Amino acid sequence: MLRYVFSILAKPRLVDTDLLLCLISTSNTIRRQNVHSTPLYNTLPGDDILYKEEHLQMKDSLRKIIDNDINPYVDEWEQEGFFPAHTVFKKLGKAGFLGVTKSTEYGGLGLDYTFSLAMAEELGYINCGGIPMAIGVQTDMATPALARFGSDKLKKEFLTPSIQGDYVACLGVSETEAGSDVASIQTRAEKRGGDLIINGGKMWITNGTQADWMCLLANTRQGLPHQNKSLICLPMDLPGIQITKKIDKLGMRSSDTAQVFFEDVRVPQTNIIGEEGQGFTYQMLQFQEERLWGAAATLVPMETVIQETVKYTRDRKIFGQSVLSNQCVHFTLAELETEVELLRSLLYRTVLLYSQGNNVTKQASMCKLKAGRLARQVTDKCLQFWGGMGYTNEVLISRFFRDMRLISIGGGADEVMLSIICKFMDTLPRPPKVNS
């Protein structure tokens, strides 16, 4: 029933959010009348704080796609270092999952950000980190600025097919000499007639080898580094675009990551998203959603690692008793479980504030910082309890150990998150005053 609702909502102008809620209500009535039916969804601790029945049903619908169309192939995709993004995204797009918060006018569901968070959490049931990350780039990293500030023409050309799953999107911000220091990017888009001529390069581009278009941050004029940049919708099949290599990574193996160069690439100036020179500001706003999404995507993998470790250490015997019987083991697991729940509480509060229109830059940075550090702690401590088996590729924990390490690096390193938090606390050192 819910999948039918999402597929209808993907067609703009036919229905609206009120119809979604009406149909869900009807579905609930039908389900409750069948007293022998099995539960439609599973709940986790704290779900009722942020999520209502509509959120949980959406998560259940997504879980079916994960179980039927993604997880059976994850091991194969991990070995190949590649997953078929167009195939997977089309499946998700048909069900409405690539435009949960986007306007119904352009094929989205028009729901609030709590639904996007619910989706990010549920994607954690995919048995790797690479595919959820690739999906997150499509929904919460490459398209928010376009959806919020882009022209009607750009939205129809790039946003609608991305929501439908016909286009794969990527985000072009990082460069070889400018990662977390976004203001220092060197890629240029010079005006010539009515066009932009783009020269430069981008690094660490998730979805880069498969993408149909890039949300590109480039310098479009002279001036202060926070006021001279623009976001540009860049088709990836244009002359002058060269994907020089697919990067061989430690983790996130199934997600393709590319280095891309631009040589005299020509696009219309009308491909600039919103106001020229506001790209840095728009990107900082996109980072809020990226960092919240990234934190949410760690919750289920951490819970999975903890629960799998409980099972393994309960069965594994050493010196006449289970590994789990050792106090240092079950106490450590209890501490880790507590930390995960604390992160969930911080994240849910931040998302509620964000959904109410508040600036949550500080809180989102805290979520990202805590998620990255806790993911490292959980995977490292739990892997230790697996002994030699944890050091093999035969168990899920070793994959998450590799994949989750990226959380403290991508989307702004831990040290950048700390600097942002310090800025809001007014504790950053100030440059000394120069006496005249």
DSSP code string of 343-406: HHHHHHHHHHHHHTT---HHHHHHHHHHHHHHHHHHHHHHHHHHGGGGGSTTSHHHHHHHHGGG
Nearest-angstrom CA–CA distance, 131 and 253: 9
* CATH class assigned to 53-168: mainly alpha
Domain 281-425 has CATH 1.20.140.10: yes
Tokens representing 252?
A: 């996130």
User: Residue 436: what pLDDT?
Assistant: 57
State the burial class of residue 408 (Cβ atoms within 10 Å of its Cβ: 0-12, 13-18, 19+). Answer: buried
pTM of the predicted structure, to 2 decimals: 0.88
Domain residue ranges of the chain, discontinuous segments joined by +: 53-168, 170-277, 281-425
Q: Encode burial over 306-333: b for 16+ CB neighbours within 10 A, e otherwise.
A: bebbbebbeeeeeeeeebbeeeebbebb
Nearest-angstrom CA–CA distance, 203 and 233: 17
CATH superfamily of 170-277: Butyryl-CoA Dehydrogenase, subunit A, domain 2 (2.40.110.10)
The residue with tokens 């001529």 is 197
Q: What are phi and psi of 256, to 5 degrees?
A: -75, 135
Nearest-angstrom CA–CA distance, 320 and 318: 5
CA atoms within 13 A of residue 144's CA, in its CB half-sphere: 21
Supply the residues annotated as catalytic: 290
User: Residue 431: what pLDDT?
Assistant: 81
| pLDDT tens for each residue of the chain, 436 residues long | 444 444 444 444 333 444 444 444 444 443 333 333 333 344 555 556 899 999 999 999 999 999 999 999 999 999 999 999 999 999 999 999 999 999 999 999 999 999 999 999 999 999 999 999 999 999 999 999 999 999 999 999 999 999 999 999 999 999 999 988 899 999 999 999 999 999 999 999 999 999 999 999 999 999 999 999 999 999 999 999 999 889 999 999 999 999 999 999 999 999 999 999 999 999 999 899 999 999 999 999 999 999 999 999 999 999 999 999 999 999 999 999 999 999 999 999 999 999 999 999 999 999 999 999 999 999 999 999 999 999 999 999 999 999 999 999 999 999 999 999 999 999 999 888 777 5
